[in-house]
Structure 1
Amino acid sequence: MTNEQILQKYNTPVPRYTSYPPANSFETFSNEAYIKEVEASNDAPNNHLSFYIHVPFCRHLCHYCGCNSLPMAKDETVEAYFQALHQELDILLPYLNKSRKISQIHYGGGSPSSIPLHYIKALNEHLLSAFDTIDRPEIAIECHPGYLSQEDWTFLTDCGFTRYSLGIQDFNDKVLETVNRRPSLLPVETILDILRGSGARVNLDFIYGLPGQSADSFEQTIERAISLHPDRLVTFSYAHVPWLYKSQLILERAGLPHNDEKVQMFARVSRLLTHSGYCHIGMDHFVLPDDDLQKALETHQLHRNFQGYCPRRITAQVYALGVSGISQLDGAYAQNTKNVRQYITQLSAHQLCIERGYALNARQRVAREVIESLMCNNRISWNDLSQRLHLAPEEVKVAMHYDENRLQEMAHDGLIVFDSQHIAMTSVGSPFVRNVAAALDPMMVNTDKRFSKPV
């Protein structure tokens, strides 16, 4: 099949598989059920500690945003919110084994860097005083460079972070203006010098598929990014889901690029990045050859959670703090309320505020491992999964929607190669790894859920 034919056939809505089952499968879940899963997580196979902290506030809301983001609150609300974060952590601490170690801390949003930065430093100190860390933990924060001064960046380097993700999105100011995104306040070169001076690693994040972008213009943006030599460069595909986020309708009126143009954006920058020495990881990451993610991919030890890709070395049970945060534990997911006022009120009364979640059954735990293996490592080895799950290879397949005719069709179309022992994505099929995962997913049979397109 030609690339055009593959796009027409497979560019259909499928889950993003940042979790399994996807978050739109979550149902009512209680505080008590969450605490039970927290206690059980002490004995999970991968029982390092990962903390995700959600800071929902932004100084300006970008029209494309699909995150739980809110306009900047009053000073007293921000202070009360961070008091609630500390209180939530204090509620959890008695249920966590103190011999466990932190492998990962991640601040997301919203824009975590939009609030007074002393709140960030104090919360990091609280976390790191409660537990030891593994060797070389990843302590990361997502930063909007549109508002941070040189003094702000210098302050952040004293907060213990080992990685910074800068949300550049595009170097074209006209594109940023259309999507209501502020460009970087300082030259990005200056920011990188400050952060690298602290020994930290830096990601530059971009989005393709926005109004005003073309294959030519996005290639120019990535050429500039390459000249800055970031440790990781991420090219997120804009997910257009206006039925969930009404502000995205503004982008429809501005005019979204045609699918063919969007495919060309990714294809051209992918070639450019690989020719420049970057290695392609998963759906959207490009890393330098000595990066931990590339080493993990080479040994089939790449993992993924809501915070992104990580090597299995730092794989952990994820405990989320803050509104909308999703804890990812061995046996369940649990999500906090999205309402800031409710969150602050309940935590000030020393009550958790779990709103929904999902307890996985035995078959779903198997499916999670299979789909994660494919999504992260672009391959499935039924024998490797058999050993990890302590099941016969055929038992692993039975837990999936294993349809050999469907796999044959995908192989004929050039997306995969497979036999009785393996499934592997081809370079042509790699952008459609979500489609292959969905074909194996028993929960996708007769589903009525709505998803975004892979491209």
Structure 2
Amino acid sequence: MKQEVLEKYNIPVPRYTSYPPANYFQDSFTEENYLQAIDLSNSQQPQHISIYIHIPFCRHLCFYCGCNSYPMMSSGIIESYLKAVQKEIEIVCRRLSPDRKISQIHYGGGSPTAIPVTWLKVFNEQILSYFDCIDNPEIAIECHPGYLDAKAWKELTEAGFTRFSLGVQDFKEDVLKTVNRRASLLPMEEIFAILRNARAGINLDFIYGLPYQTEESFTKTISRAVELNPDRVVTFSYAHVPWVNKRQLKLEEAGLPSQTEKSRMYESAKKLLSSCGYHSIGLDHFVQEEDELKIALQNKMLHRNFQGYCTRRTTGQVYAFGVTAISQLSTAYMQNTKNITTYIEQVDKGILPVAKGYSLSKEEQITREVITSLMCNYSLNWQELAERLKTEVEVIKSATAYNEQILQNFADDHLIEWNREEINMTSEGALFVRNVAASLDKLMLHSNKTFSKPV
């Protein structure tokens, strides 16, 4: 990609893991609003239930992390927190129709594996006692391999998980040391053997754009990953947002790679993974030939929610539990309080700990479908979307900031190919799908929000 094009489009834009993005959520959204949205969700689409549980604790806080994480607390506080999560699950699940089915359960953090595995098993059993599951549901957990021995990995496979995301981030020792990340306790081959024996899916997660990473070093890291043959490889672009997490300022002291070097890391990794049989999914996932995400992309049916990329088969409305957790319902979002003490106190009283949320207008619901389609499938066919939403093409376009001159500007820079029937990202332009999505977002016409850069 030409340097001038890279510089032109490497500007702050939303990540669009939700629409509208979380920084549009409003403090005026109350527990009553959330309860109403939960009740309405029983008759809205998608009908499947997706559960997210946030475990905020980490044994050490990585300097790069922009997640809602907290250092380990006393065992008493941690147990009180986990019991509160249990109670919050009970309050919400009893309001959901029992004939609905679980399609996903996902644990994030923090480090979900920082707590005893027995608690993870308790949560899974509790959730599955309320509802049946679809065939082959995805029950996934993010794992920090720096603290897990063979016994812990085996216990995790016995707790009902079907997919494990291993937060490796990099195999290079000086990179991990600089970002305060511990390397894997066990050799990766030993971990893979345990998980493969349980027939679990395996993701390896990496971050590019950290201090001491270069195109050459990151390519070596991905080469090592390919040797292990995971089902999926995820390459997250480091989002430098020190106004969210001041710890990231430590990485500025160490020195961050240039935008050009960071772009080369991604392109080199993508080229290597492609040559080894992995298929690019969305912004950051690479999957093997038989993966259902690849098949969904091929059929332009790839989807995304706060759990990550999924298929229409596995997607569901997301009901989230724990501090800062975000529920993603058909017509509303809700985020819990970030204060652990407040969270425990409110849930103990039977109060859902709503901090903020957002009710989507009909127009915003349409825009969400437009942006999700483009972000997931790198393609947008207006007529196909109109048929799925049971409306007219012009109704959809008028709900967005559709502007043919802006689209032509993207085409002139070889980021898209388009006509009045469809928009398709080029292979060169895929890196900047967020920019194209933002051009269709009416909220961006007068936005004063702060976002990260694509590269």
Same fold judged by TM-score > 0.5? yes
1:102-181 to structure 2, matched below 5 A, reads 102-181=102-181
The superposition leaves residues 397-435 of structure 1 with CA deviations (integer Å, 9 ceiling, x where unpaired) of 011101100000100100000001000000000000000
Amino acid at match of 2:406: R
Aligned residue in 1 for 2:38: 38
Deviation for aligned residue 1:99:
0.3
Matches within 5 A, 1:382-401: 382-401=382-401
Matches of 1:154 and 1:275 in 2, distance apart?
Answer: 33
In structure 1, C-alpha distance between the alignment counterparts of 2:43 and 2:373, rounded to whole Å: 22
2:145 maps to amino acid: P
Q: Residues 2-21 of structure 1: matches in 2 within 5 Å? A: 2-21=1-20
SS of the equivalent of 1:445 reads helix
Partner of 1:64: 64
Alignment map for 1:25-424 (pairs within 5 Å): 25-28=24-27, 29-424=29-424
Distance apart, 1:129 and its partner CA: 1.1
Letter in 2 for 1:324: T
User: 1:272-319 CA deviation, whole Å, 9 max, x = no partner?
Assistant: 000000000000000001001001101111111111100110110100
SS at match of 1:51: strand
1:6 shift after superposition:
1.2
Structure 1 residue 210, shift from structure 2 partner: 0.1
Which whole-Å deviations, capped at 9, do the CAs of 1:157-216 have from their partners, x for residues lacking one?
111001000000000011000000000000011001101111110000000000010000
Distance 2:158 2:94 in 1: 29
| Residue-by-residue CA offset, 1:20-77 (whole Å, 9 max, x unaligned) | 0000000021111101000111111211011000000000000000000000111111
SS at match of 1:286: strand
The 1-side partners of 2:99 and 2:66 are apart by 37
Offset of residue 438 of structure 1: 0.4
Q: Residue by residue, what CA displacement relative to the aligned partner does 1:370-403 show, whole Å, maximum 9, x if unpaired?
A: 0000000001100011011111111110111011
Q: Distance in 1 between matches of 2:114 and 2:152?
A: 10
Q: Secondary structure at the match of 1:95?
A: coil
1:444 aligns with 2:444: yes
Counterpart of 1:79, as a letter, is E
Q: Give the whole-Å Cα distance in 2 for the aligned partners of 1:3 and 1:306.
A: 33
Range that drifts further, 177-186 or 341-350:
341-350
Q: Specify the code of the residue in structure 1 equivalent to 2:264.
A: Q
Counterparts of 2:305 and 2:391 in 1: how far apart (Å)?
24
Offset of residue 95 of structure 1: 1.0
Q: Which amino acid aligns with 1:106?
A: H
How far apart, CA to CA, are the structure 1 residues paired with 2:177 and 2:195?
Answer: 27
1:3 offset after TM fit, Å?
Answer: 2.3
- Offset of residue 454 of structure 1: 0.2
Query: For residues 2 and 428 of structure 2, what CA distance do their matches in structure 1 show?
Result: 8
Q: Shift of the alpha carbon at 1:258?
A: 0.7
Quick one: which amino acid aligns to residue 6 of structure 2?
L
CA distance in 1, matches of 2:336, 2:88: 11
Please report how far the alpha carbon of residue 226 of structure 1 lies from its aligned counterpart in structure 2 after TM superposition: 0.2
CA distance, structure 2, for counterparts of residue 168 and residue 176 of structure 1: 9
* Contact 2:306 2:318 (8 Å CA) reproduced: no
Alpha-carbon distance in structure 2 between the residues aligned to 1:406 and 1:381: 18
* In 2, Cα distance between equivalents of 1:347 and 1:45: 28
Looking at structure 2, the residues matched to 230 and 86 of structure 1 have their Cα atoms a distance apart, in angstroms, of 33
Does structure 1 conserve the Cα–Cα contact (< 8 Å) formed by 2:303 and 2:312?
A: yes
Q: Secondary structure at the match of 2:147?
A: coil
Letter in 2 for 1:248: Q
Distance 1:340 1:188 in 2: 34
Paired with 1:282 and 1:6, the residues of 2 have a C-alpha distance of: 21
Q: In 2, distance between residues paired with 1:49 and 1:307?
A: 12
Distance, in Å, in 2 between the alignment partners of 1:145 and 1:98 is: 36
The letter of the residue matching 2:77 is T
Q: Aligned residue for 2:425?
A: 425
TM-score by length of 1: 0.99
Counterpart code for 2:328: Q
Structure 1 stretches of 4+ with a deviation exceeding 3 A read none
Q: Distance in 2 between matches of 1:272 and 1:163?
A: 24
TM-score normalised by length of structure 2: 0.99
- Aligned-partner residue type, residue 5 of structure 1: E
Which letter maps to 2:247? S
Identical aligned residues as a percent = 55
The CA distance in 2 between the partners of 1:91 and 1:19, in whole Å, is 25
CA distance in 1, matches of 2:83, 2:241: 33
Q: What is the one-letter code of the residue matched to 2:272?
A: L
Bigger drift between 13-22 and 345-354 goes to 345-354
Q: Which amino acid aligns with 1:59?
A: R
Q: Structure 1: which amino acid aligns with 2:4?
A: Q
Which residue identity does 1:171 align to in structure 2?
A: F
Deviations 1:218-256 (A, max 9, x none): 000000000000000000000001111100000001000
Structure 2 gaps of 5+ residues are none
Q: Which amino acid aligns with 2:13?
A: V
- Paired with 1:347 and 1:81, the residues of 2 have a C-alpha distance of 10
Distance 2:120 2:81 in 1: 12
SS at match of 1:256: coil
d(CA) in 2 for partners of 1:279, 1:126:
36
Determine the C-alpha separation between the residues in 2 that align with 1:137 and 1:287. 18
